[in-house]
Structure 1
Amino acid sequence: MSKIIKADLCVIGGGSGGLSVAAGASQMGADTVLIEGGKMGGDCLNYGCVPSKALLAAAKKANGLQHADEFGVTGQPLVADYEKVMGHVSEIIAGIAPHDSVERFEQLGVRVIEGYASFSGPDRVTVDDVTIKARRFVIATGSRATAPPISGLETCGYMTNETLFENREKPEHLIIIGGGPIGMEMAQAHRRLGSRVTVLEAFKALAKDDPDLTSVALKALRAEGIDIREDVKIHSVDRTEEGAINVVVEEEGREEKLTGSHLLVAAGRKPNLEKLNLEAAGVEHSKSGIEVDERLRSSNRKIFAIGDVAGGFQFTHVAGYHAGIVIRNALFRLPAKVNYDGLPWVTYTDPEIANVGMTEKQAREQLGDKVQVLTFPYAENDRARAERKTEGFVKAIIGTNGKILGAGIVGMQAGELIQPWALAITGGLKVSSMASYIAPYPTLGEINKRAAGSFYTPKLFSSKTRWIVKLLSLFG
């Protein structure tokens, strides 16, 4: 006999977005069921944001030691123990895991069912011999790494972000297929830890970001010794009897065989849909994910989809934002809609790349010559000079009447510096607000203020202003 559980809300997927919905709904009084077939915390905690940033932190420490003599500090030669570095990564995951655990969510009043959910009707799912009937469902099953169709790739063995952090052997030569954020972050981390690194990208590295920003970051990465190859074709991959990886590539019409010790594929992701049996629930979907409206409702209006599985932006903070939209819709029947105007995103290379709102290209496509671009370099900021991190700049996109349309930053702590611009766009503030606040000295935050202030420079130092000053001086 199948056991039947009735609930107000059933959340499928225990990643960042699903956990946020489940915790919020339960604490607000909704009878909530959470279903997770893999690890609690999902991709972000176990395979994505947390371990990658922990690895980058270790690599940053190594790089700091390598360049300590620039500050007059010297010591013993650098030794990067890869196994201990990965132990650090595991410790960070283990330290956060209790916050996302089954035990914690059960303490919050959530009924957690471990297993994979499959819809058996428009208002019910089954997990093994349990059926859950709910008033509303939230699908938050996330996405996973996918591999391009390269001859020999599936049989030779390779790592993805889901297996990379299990590796305890430092790659002698790491070959990475994919020059997006994951590929470039892991390339720099491993290079700083002593590996030789080659990145193979079929198009342009970091292609989704403003090329003015990415050119600075890519120059820095190449200067560290990372071999970044763009516009390459990968013909085949195979593994030798000794365990080495051979990759045959074509670049500018010439074929070349590259040999590495390890292979990482970071060339795209696909939504986790296969086990859900969405047809039984009347939920329309494609290879990109579940089709949702601005309220994140699927074609079955009682079923919502959030995060990566809903297509679009694949960021943990988007899943968290979606969670708030869904709670307002599913629990309070409020017609809350998504608005991505102030959505920031960051690539955590060094220097970092951060964006929010429109890029210059997008703004000019919509507004033409009504767009004004403001910039200010790190090299003219005293704090950046003190830290010897002078590469980079702020780029603000301004529309008519001083409206802030977007901003991009490349440089140290760009992910932190982008946040005032995100707040300004979300709050509908104009560039005058960014230019007139008082920034403490010396801080990197002054870069934002100086960039915004340049909006007024042509008028403040014009011949008309000089004429007015001279005129007023005649009156004493």
Structure 2
Amino acid sequence: MKQFDAIVIGSGQAGNPLAHRLADRGWTVALIEREHLGGSCINYGCTPTKTMLASAQVAHSARRAQQFGVRAGEVAIDLPKVVARKNAIVQQWRTGQERQAAKRPTITLFRGAARFTGPHVVDLDGQALSGKHVYINTGTSPLIPPIAGIERVPYLTNRNIMDLTEVPDHLLVVGASYVGLEFGQMFRRFGSRVTVVEFADQIVPREDADVAEALEQALAAEGIGFLKAAQVTEVAKAGGGVRASTSLRSGRPGPVIDASHILLAVGRQPNTEDLGLDAAGVETNRGWIKVNEFLETNVAGVYGLGDVTGGPAFTHISYHDFQIVFHNLFEESKLSTQGRLIPYALFTDPELGRVGLTEKEARAIGRPVKLGVIPMSHVARAIERDETAGLMKVVVDATTDRIIGAAILGAGGGELVQTLMALMMADAPWKLFYRAVYIHPTMTEGFFALMDSVK
């Protein structure tokens, strides 16, 4: 049996930096990865999707050139070249990850699937490895909904849709959250007809209704169709594509949709089924690893990191999980997940940047709130760039005058909202931004009108 100071299962955005930093401290580390180094983000998530979204944005801008007095020719999508560019950038990151691991002599990289045989022992293709500390960062996989006939049609997920070499004629998207909307808009801009089916009454169901409505209006203006409060109940092959039957939440039958391709984007499931967690004694909840605020499982020395714990499924949260466990190993003060602000972005156009509580979440827990809301059409820079879709919104605690949540739906929303997050982290009153001097003309200048609207 090979013994290590630490075993890291999964080289995602918590596992990789943790393995590197532990090795830098002189620890012997077994880094186990069954696919590519870098986890979902580099290989199947953030990096490839945002690379392809950049191509879609260029196509969209070229089609709008005449609005800006610029003559451009007919826009044509070379999807194989788009995919090749994506693959090259992904490979660049993979190579970098492999180089980082290789230059640390106390890291041993194992390729394969690990399975626990005891609390601190894993089996890897018949080889036993033990570690004083074990970190599980195995991530998630696409959830395949129980649609009748789904196993008999060639459905797409966030992984294989990025390997298409022909633009779909009609893409049916099941689910109107991050994955569904980003790919839906991407392929609409590549030239596909796109229909999105969502079970909830609104798209992006966790967001406030005004934010969801503004985003839907922007996407619909590009020709994306929406069927809400509905679900796909059955699919079958038809005419070289897919025929989908739907039902409405009211109980009535919905329309039958004929599409060339179907994308399933209804959620994620944990990659724990084959880990043998029962042998380790690690407790789970429907497959998600149960952890406390220090990311410790019920088994001493075994930790769950990133998406596999069922927490916020974002790369930056996974990285913060690494920061927590690494800090707590070597520092007397303790970091935890309690009270951490969770920023995130939906990379549609307009882009949605979010942090903290939504209005509906704040009201649901009884927080007295004041709201500030302005349309992006009130921001000079947005008008100049013809990017007026969307809005800015802050949720303020009426008792403390602190911002407890914000949503920026507009160009650069993911960047802008982090400025508001800094104010929240400083525990400063919202009026501090009201008194600030902003560069004109910038998108951030909109914060003055936003704060002026708080009531």
Letter in 1 for 2:13: S
CA contact (8 A) 2:374 2:392 kept: yes
Letter in 2 for 1:425: M
Q: Normalising by the residue count of structure 2, what TM-score does the alignment of the two structures yield?
A: 0.95
Within 5 Å, give how 1:105-124 maps onto structure 2.
Answer: 105-109=101-105, 110-124=107-121
Q: 1:140 to 1:334 in 2, by over 3 A?
A: farther
Letter in 2 for 1:86: V
Structure 1 residue 35 corresponds to structure 2 residue 32: yes
Letter in 1 for 2:101: F
Letter in 2 for 1:185: E
Tell me the SS of whatever aligns to 2:274: helix
Structure 1 residue 329 corresponds to structure 2 residue 328: yes
Instruction: For residue 178 of structure 1, report the CA deviation from its aligned partner.
Output: 1.2
Instruction: For residue 140 of structure 1, report the CA deviation from its aligned partner.
Output: 0.2
Rounded Cα–Cα distance in structure 2 between residues aligned with 1:86 and 1:228? 27
Residues 289-345 of structure 1, C-alpha deviation per residue, up to 9 Å, x if partnerless? Answer: 000000000010210101110112111111011110111234446532113442111
Letter in 2 for 1:271: P
Unaligned runs of 5+ in 1: 459-476
CA contact (8 A) 1:145 1:160 kept: yes
> What's 1:195 paired with?
192
Instruction: For residue 437 of structure 1, report the CA deviation from its aligned partner.
Output: 3.2
> What's 2:41 paired with?
44
CA contact (8 A) 1:417 1:448 kept: no
Instruction: For residue 415 of structure 1, report the CA deviation from its aligned partner.
Output: 0.4
> What's 1:359 paired with?
358
More deviation in 325-334 or 418-427?
325-334
Within 5 Å, give how 1:99-138 maps onto structure 2.
Answer: 99-101=96-98, 103-109=99-105, 110-138=107-135
Q: 1:29 to 1:422 in 2, by over 3 A?
A: farther
Tell me the SS of whatever aligns to 2:352: strand
Rounded Cα–Cα distance in structure 2 between residues aligned with 1:281 and 1:10? 14
> What's 1:265 paired with?
264
> What's 1:306 paired with?
305
CA contact (8 A) 2:272 2:287 kept: no
Letter in 2 for 1:97: R
Instruction: For residue 249 of structure 1, report the CA deviation from its aligned partner.
Output: 1.5
> What's 1:274 paired with?
273
Match among 373, 376, 379 for residue 377 of structure 2: 379
Residues 234-267 of structure 1, C-alpha deviation per residue, up to 9 Å, x if partnerless? Answer: 2211113x42111111346234321111111111
Letter in 2 for 1:24: R
> What's 2:214 paired with?
216
Residues 110-135 of structure 1, C-alpha deviation per residue, up to 9 Å, x if partnerless? Answer: 22111111111112112123222211
Instruction: For residue 367 of structure 1, report the CA deviation from its aligned partner.
Output: 4.0
Instruction: For residue 69 of structure 1, report the CA deviation from its aligned partner.
Output: 1.0
Instruction: For residue 376 of structure 1, report the CA deviation from its aligned partner.
Output: 2.8
> What's 2:446 paired with?
447
Unaligned runs of 5+ in 2: none
Within 5 Å, give how 1:176-195 maps onto structure 2.
Answer: 176-195=173-192
CA contact (8 A) 1:341 1:425 kept: no
Structure having the larger proportion of residues in helix:
1
More deviation in 419-428 or 408-417?
419-428
Percent identical residues: 31
Structure 1 residue 90 corresponds to structure 2 residue 90: no
Rounded Cα–Cα distance in structure 2 between residues aligned with 1:264 and 1:307? 25
> What's 1:227 paired with?
225
Rounded Cα–Cα distance in structure 2 between residues aligned with 1:320 and 1:437? 32
CA contact (8 A) 1:374 1:397 kept: yes
Instruction: For residue 164 of structure 1, report the CA deviation from its aligned partner.
Output: 1.1
Within 5 Å, give how 1:248-263 maps onto structure 2.
Answer: 248-251=245-248, 253-263=252-262
Residues 57-115 of structure 1, C-alpha deviation per residue, up to 9 Å, x if partnerless? Answer: 111111101111111001211111222222222122122222222x4212134221111
Tell me the SS of whatever aligns to 1:389: coil
RMSD between superposed Cα atoms in Å: 1.7
Q: 1:158 to 1:393 in 2, by over 3 A?
A: same
> What's 1:78 paired with?
75
Q: 1:280 to 1:45 in 2, by over 3 A?
A: same
Q: 1:153 to 1:131 in 2, by over 3 A?
A: same
Residues 387-438 of structure 1, C-alpha deviation per residue, up to 9 Å, x if partnerless? Answer: 0111222111111232111111111110000101122222222213322333
Rounded Cα–Cα distance in structure 2 between residues aligned with 1:232 and 1:454? 36
> What's 1:57 paired with?
54
CA contact (8 A) 2:351 2:413 kept: yes
Rounded Cα–Cα distance in structure 1 between residues aligned with 2:432 and 2:354? 19
> What's 1:464 paired with?
none
More deviation in 289-298 or 384-393?
384-393
Tell me the SS of whatever aligns to 2:18: helix
CA contact (8 A) 1:22 1:34 kept: yes
Rounded Cα–Cα distance in structure 2 between residues aligned with 1:439 and 1:10? 49
Tell me the SS of whatever aligns to 1:418: helix
Residues 366-386 of structure 1, C-alpha deviation per residue, up to 9 Å, x if partnerless? Answer: 345x31111233222221111
Residues 217-237 of structure 1, C-alpha deviation per residue, up to 9 Å, x if partnerless? Answer: 111111111111111132211
CA contact (8 A) 2:382 2:388 kept: yes
> What's 1:465 paired with?
none
> What's 1:9 paired with?
6
CA contact (8 A) 1:343 1:422 kept: no
Q: Which has the larger radius of gyration?
A: 1
CA contact (8 A) 1:83 1:170 kept: no
Letter in 1 for 2:415: E
Structure 1 residue 318 corresponds to structure 2 residue 317: yes
CA contact (8 A) 1:176 1:199 kept: yes
Residues 342-371 of structure 1, C-alpha deviation per residue, up to 9 Å, x if partnerless? Answer: 211111111111211111122223345x31
